[in-house]
Structure 1
Amino acid sequence: MASRNTFSQLLFILFLCYHLQILEAAGVNSSSAGCIKMEREALLKFKDDLIDPFGRLSSWVGKDCCNWAGVACDNQTGNVYVLDLATIYNCSQTGGSSTSPYSYCKLGGSVNLSKVSTNWLEAINMLPSLLQLDMSFCEVSSLPQPLPVVNFTSLQALDLSNNKFSSPIPQWLFNISTLEQLNLASSTSTFNVTGPNPIPKVLSGNLCKLRELDMSFNYFEGEVTDFVEALSRCSNRSLETLDLTYNKLTGNLPDSLWLLTNLKSLKLSHNKFKGRLSDSLGSLRNLEELDLSHNILSGLLPMSIGNLSRLAVLDLSFNMMSGLITEGIGQLTKLFILNLYGNSNFQGVITEIHLQNLTKLFDLYISSVNKSLAFSLRQDWIPPFSLFDLAISDCQLGPYFPTWLRTQNRSSQITLSNVGISDNIPDWLWTLSPGIYWLDLSHNQLRGKLPDSIRFPSFIGGWIDLGFNNLEGSIPLWPNVTNLSLRNNLLSGPIPSNIGHGMSVLQKLDLSGNLLNGSIPSSIINNMRNLSFLDLSSNYLSGPIPRQWNGLKLLMTVDLSKNNLSGTIPQSIVAYPDSVYLLNLRANKLTGTIPYQVCRLQNLNILDLAHNNLSGPIPTCLARILRLRYPRRYFFQSPPTTREASFFEHTELVIKGKKTEFTKIIILVNTIDLSGNNLVGEIPEQITNLSALGSLNLSWNQLTGSIPGNIGSLQWLEALDLSHNYLSGPIPPSISSMTLLNLLNLSYNNLSGHIPSSNQLQTVAGPSSYEGNPGLCGPPLLNNCSSSSDGNGVSKDKGGDEDEETSQTLWVYISTALGFVVGFWAVFGTLVVKKCVRHAYFKYLDEIADKIAVQIVVNVAHLKRKMGFERI
């Protein structure tokens, strides 16, 4: 017997849980016709591939397979039509439905067939009476592309969803003419398929009994016209459910789509369909669910949409639709969800006619651009519906707070963002529904003060966004709130010292852009153990930063910038919360050195300590930050939703000399800004290892030494500012290889030599990039470099050594001349007194003088050339 581990991989192979409703109460029937030999052998072969340490298949002996546990045969023919592993392995406890004609065994995650051959398929292919085959969540890596003979002549339901096919979907699947249900959802993806992943071809006329087709979450590519036309050619057009969501399908919606008149559910969201919605949409009179969201559809909402009298779900969100919203919407009396959110330019007016007959409406989502869509509803209007979820954004709903909202007493999510309300928040809103957990009233002109205490559902916690209004007063304490944004209001006074106790479950807290003063309460640090986002920037907070941050293990974003905070940077703020990716302490009054513990933040991609009074050197260990060393090769941006909140990722940075607020792409912004401090020492050579860095600003410090020679290895750098320091030496030639650079500022240092040239530098760096460095020469500066200098300002002949040699030679000649004069007068008297000595001496001197004269002439000529005295 094989190992138990292998048993866990193969025990529930196939999940063939098929038995008729009559079997659910009475168990598995036996057959008077007896078992067919070929099918018995197929079952025994199937058993051989299983591992059964508990003997649950011990009854699978003898010739009458119809009496085996979990097997049922047709009373007349003896064919096996049920293989019920639910009974044998008790998988009904993990799934299945007592009301379904097919008992499903959903045991996702418990079977791994990635290393199993396809022999099991040959065995199962020998059961022509099989009704349903369920292989979902089996991690099947491939199916045989050709299958010589398809014996699934009775197969009605086939589920291959949630597997890992590394090869295309085999064409023989679409030749099973008896299929009524086919589920291929999440069976393949771009991560498992090399090259394009085209949508499979459907042969005309082979799937005319098909009622349900699910091919969602496969990243299929290409045009869908041929695929849909093949489905629509069947005379009975039996298809009721078509799901192609989350693929990469392109082109216009084919006209043949509107021929599938039996469709009840059509889901084509998250593709790349474009064009206009045809007025033929109204022919789908049986349609109950229509989801075309997250495409590129444009044009008007068809007038015929009012013909879809059975429609319960209409989702056209996040397209590019425009124009007036037809009043035909009001004829959809069974509408449960209406989602028109996130389109480019809906215009006109929403009146009571659009909404008056929507008595079953549960969720309503509508938005426009620049308030091009307005609501015209009477103040005393009473809606016919009771909404669970309401989202209206970028429309004109105000100026008064909508009183009709008071009737929505079962609401749990309310979004009225940027809808032109300039009114007080009514008291009844806070007690409207005990189930409200999402409240977004941001970007209005709401006035007044907030209530001191409100309770939200404890089992969910409140998500509250009141940012960008004119609210006044102090910060409230609201228990059970997990996400709170009061950003950009007129709130004043100190942050309550007990805020950490009163709001201990907070995960995200944004109080930025107010008039708050006082110190940062230590209770935020000590008691908010789930805090991941903290933004207290742009206030008037003072005093030191709290010291003990070691309890905040989930902290990812810390923004305390633009306050009056003083003291040193606590080591614990960077030593323990290793999940931090954004640390912004800009524009405070912080002193001391940059703690080396900052290098432990391996996920850090934004470090902004600019405009403080920090001193000391730049830590060389910054080069160890992994997120800044390796460029991010991929970035998955989740699709937009109706729940946009301002406390989600945001921070204001100075990049390329401009203040910019970064939000959704903040994870791609890799920057270090240490400018405007008192940092000393050299720029660490190791900093050039941060190859993923996009912006580096070390300006307005007291840095000395040279620019690292390997600065060109920062290939992803777009902005480099080293201005207003005391840097010296040449500009490294490697800087010309930084092809992404579009801002360079090296001004006001002591740099010298020739400016390196490249097409990129000539584009991004003008004279202002180098001014204040009198030793620099060459374009784009006007002072040309000497012809005797190379690119680094060094002589082209023999450099400084040659100049030194010339000076030494000149000194030798001068010394020789002086010695000659002194020696001459020293012996002059002797020569005058003694005649014999005089005659001998002058004879010798004449011989020496001739030799010296010749040497002097040669050396002087050479010296003139060296010193530039000779005419050219």
Structure 2
Amino acid sequence: MKGSFIMMVVVVVSLLNCYVECEGCLEEEKSLLLQLKSSLNRSIESSVALSDWAGQNCCEWGGVSCSNTTSRVFKLLLGTVGQEGPDVLNSKESVNILAQFKELQYLVLSGNRMGGSDILQAFCKMHHLKLLLLYSTSLEGKIPHCIRKMHSLQVLNLAGNQLQGNIPLSTFSDMHLLQELDLSGNQLQGIISPFTFSNMHSLQKLDLSENQLQEIISPSTFNNLTMLTDLSLSNNHFVGTIPFSMFANLSKLVSLDLSNNYQLEVETESPNWVPHFRLTNLNLANCKLNRLSGSIVPSFLSTQHTLKFLDLSNSSLAGYIPSYLLYNSTQRLVLRRNSLSGPFPLPHQNTTSLLTALDISNNLVNGSLPENFVDLFPLLVYCDMSANALQGNLPPKMGIGNLQFLSLSDNRFYGEMPPGLMKCINMGYLVLSNNRLQGEMLPGNVSMEGLVCLELDGNEFTTPPNISKTPYLVILNIRNNHLSGNISLGCLCISI
């Protein structure tokens, strides 16, 4: 008797498995998918993502995923619908259809022009959603309070729309499971209250960039976001002064972007504080740094040994450039448009830089470049040191290696072109304008096959360049030198 019962269970389970595997999807949800397909305001045949929505097993249709146990649709990826044309989901009708999927957890509609000022509110009834991507869907109006009822949401992306008004005070603070929130690229206004995100203990990524948020940021705004790894507040209208120490206890923070808040002052030196984070990306460009403490380069950066990208451009900095910025783990360093001075930084010990991009243009750096510049920066691809007070001969091996972009214009370099520049086969852009360089521009043995732009104007060269081996050259500026003769480029002859 016991054996018969077990046998019966096995048969039932087998039949159920066959039903799940053979039938594929439930008939009721297949019908819903076909209704959704017909709700598109364009010809079905021209829709790339929905063109294969045919056949018995809807779980095999493009962008559709079903549960292995219930056969119900749990994931819909329709974010590529608008790839080749103006697909428009008939807003309310489509959302009402979507709300009938009982186990739908992941929904991607990005790129569809849904529009409407109340369409976002229609999603609030989808209580089981874990991921909702609605970026670039032409959403309008205010963020509805009812979003707070979507308690299961872990990822919400509303970027690139036309959402307006304030960020609702308590809407997001009740979403305890939310890990990623992206509201960037909208028209949100007003202030960020300290209570707006206060209870979001799971939040890891928060992007409020490219809005119209304003007023002062309270130092306590992000205190409780202890899981936060990425924070972007760039391209807003924040004003006043904030202490950088407000981020000190966010121990998991790796990326912070406050850039392009032109009236925002950031103080990193006072009061004394110890950073508990290890940043990999920091962007403070176009903010005002350390106005109350001598506009110095933030000293806490000496503790950031994992920093890969640093942009402090146009941030009112003055004083010397600390050498650790050039010779630690940083790969991209941007310090342009400040008042930084002193000699070019050298390493404190026998070490080489990991920099692939260096921009210290439009500063007051003076003196000569080290003769072993190429050895110190073996990975450098992009280098802009224009508009400084650098002088002396160019390093003899300058240009050898990976360098593709080099601008040393508007300095005080003199002497002849270094031999290294004759062998820079990777160089695409070479700009040495407005110095005191002399002699032959490019000799006959030059090997610069990849050169696209050559600007040597405003120097004291006497012999025109040999550009017969630069087949891709499209920009040539050699005005205001002491040249005579012709320049030959194949059958083309350009008079000087």
For the criterion TM > 0.5, the same-fold answer is yes
Matching residue within 222, 233, 241 for 1:329: 222
1:385-409 Cα offsets, whole Å, 9 max, x none, are 1212222122222312222222212
CA distance in 1, matches of 2:159, 2:492: 44
Q: Aligned letter for 2:361?
A: G
CA displacement 1:210-233 (0-9 Å, x = unmatched): 1111233x3x22415454333222
Distance in 1 (alpha carbons) for counterparts of 2:47 and 2:15: 35
RMSD: 3.6
**Matching of residue 507 in structure 1 with residue 404 in structure 2:** yes
| Structure 2 counterpart of 1:462 | 356
The verdict on how the C-alpha distance between 1:208 and 1:324 changes in structure 2, with shifts beyond 3 A counting, is: farther
In the alignment, the residues of structure 2 paired with residue 377 and residue 448 of structure 1 have an alpha-carbon distance, to the nearest angstrom, of 21
Secondary structure of 2:430's counterpart equals strand
What is the 5 A alignment of 1:95-106?
none
**C-alpha spacing 1:486/1:259, structure 2 compared with 1 (3 Å):** same
Quick one: distance in 2 between partners of 1:565 and 1:379? 54
Partner of 1:494: 393
1:249-296 deviation per Cα after TM superposition (whole angstroms, max 9, x unaligned): 142344144442322111122344444322233332321111122333
Corresponding residue of 1:444: 338
Tell me the CA shift for residue 582 of structure 1: 2.8
Q: 2:414 aligns with which of 507, 512, 517?
A: 517
Structure 1: distance between partners of 2:321 and 2:53: 67
Q: Distance in 2 between matches of 1:590 and 1:596?
A: 17
| Separation of aligned partners in 2, 1:265 and 1:555 | 46
Aligned CA distance change for structure 1 residues 559 and 257 (closer, same or farther; 3 Å): farther
- Indicate the residue corresponding to 1:338 in structure 2: 231
Find the partner of 2:15 among 51, 69, 76: 76
1:567 aligns with 2:463: yes
Q: Identify which of 233, 238, 241 aligns with 2:131.
A: 241
| Other-structure match for 1:143 | 50
- Once the 2 structures are TM-superposed, how far is the Cα of residue 333 of structure 1 from its aligned partner? 1.4
Q: Which amino acid aligns with 2:280?
A: F
Give the SS at the match of 1:306. Answer: coil
Residue type matched to 2:166 in 1? Answer: R
Percent of residue pairs bearing the same amino acid type:
25
1:330 and 1:126 map into 2 onto residues whose CA distance is 47
Name the counterpart of 1:214.
108
The equivalences for 1:279-678 within 5 A come to: 279=169, 280-303=171-194, 304-326=196-218, 327-343=220-236, 345-351=237-243, 354-375=246-267, 377-378=269-270, 380-398=272-290, 399-431=295-327, 433=328, 435-452=329-346, 455-457=352-354, 461-476=355-370, 477=373, 478-501=377-400, 504-526=401-423, 528-548=424-444, 551-572=447-468, 576-578=470-472, 580-593=473-486, 595=488, 597=490, 614=495
How far, CA to CA, are the matches of 1:386 and 1:418 in structure 2? 24
Find the residue that maps to 1:281 and give its secondary structure: coil
C-alpha displacement of 1:208: 4.1
The alpha-carbon deviation at position 382 of structure 1 amounts to 1.5
8 Å Cα contact 2:81/2:87 also seen in 1: no
5+ residue gaps, structure 2: 1-8, 34-45, 65-69
How far apart are residue 316 of structure 1 and its match? Answer: 1.4
State the one-letter code of the partner of 1:508: F
Partner SS for 1:513: coil
Q: Deviation digits for residues 296-321 of structure 1, max 9, x if unmatched?
A: 33332243122322211111122232
CA shift for structure 1 position 481: 1.6
Deviations along 1:564-616, one digit per CA (max 9) or x if unpaired, are 223234242xx5332x443332333333345454969xxxxxxxx9xxxx45x
Helix, strand or coil: the match of 1:417? Answer: coil
How far apart, CA to CA, are the structure 2 residues paired with 1:215 and 1:516?
Answer: 56
Query: How far is the alpha carbon of 1:506 from its aligned partner?
Result: 0.9
Whether the 8 Å CA contact 1:208–1:231 is kept in 2: the answer is: no
Say which SS state the counterpart of residue 178 (structure 2) adopts. coil
CA deviation profile, 1:403-441 (whole Å, cap 9, x unmatched): 22222122222222222221112344445x3x2211222
Cα distance in 1 for residues equivalent to 2:226 and 2:26:
50
Is the Cα–Cα contact under 8 Å of residues 309 and 331 in structure 1 kept in the other structure? Answer: yes
Q: Which ranges of structure 1 fall in alignment gaps of 5 or more residues? A: 1-30, 35-73, 84-122, 134-138, 162-175, 601-608, 616-872
Partner deviation per Cα, 1:350-407 (whole Å, 9 max, x = no partner): 2256223312211111124444333254274221212122221222223122222222
CA distance in 1: counterparts of 2:141 and 2:474, whole angstroms: 42
Question: TM-score w.r.t. structure 1 length?
Answer: 0.47
Q: In the aligned structure 1, how far is the partner of 2:216 from the partner of 2:49? A: 49
Q: Do 1:497 and 1:521's aligned partners in 2 also have CA atoms closer than 8 Å?
A: yes
Relative to 1, partners in 2 of residues 1:276 and 1:145: Cα closer, same or farther, differing over 3 Å? farther
Does structure 2 conserve the Cα–Cα contact (< 8 Å) formed by 1:80 and 1:127?
no
Q: Which structure has the higher relative contact order (CA within 8 Å, separation 6+)? A: 2
Letter in 2 for 1:543: G
Match in the other structure for 1:651: none
Measured against aligned partners, the alpha-carbon deviations of 1:117-168 in whole angstroms (never above 9, x if no partner) come to: xxxxxx97799999xx9xxxxx994635996x9764xx5x96539xxxxxxx
Q: What is the aligned residue count? A: 449
1:543 and 1:567 in contact (8 A); partners too = yes
Aligned partner letter, 2:105:
R
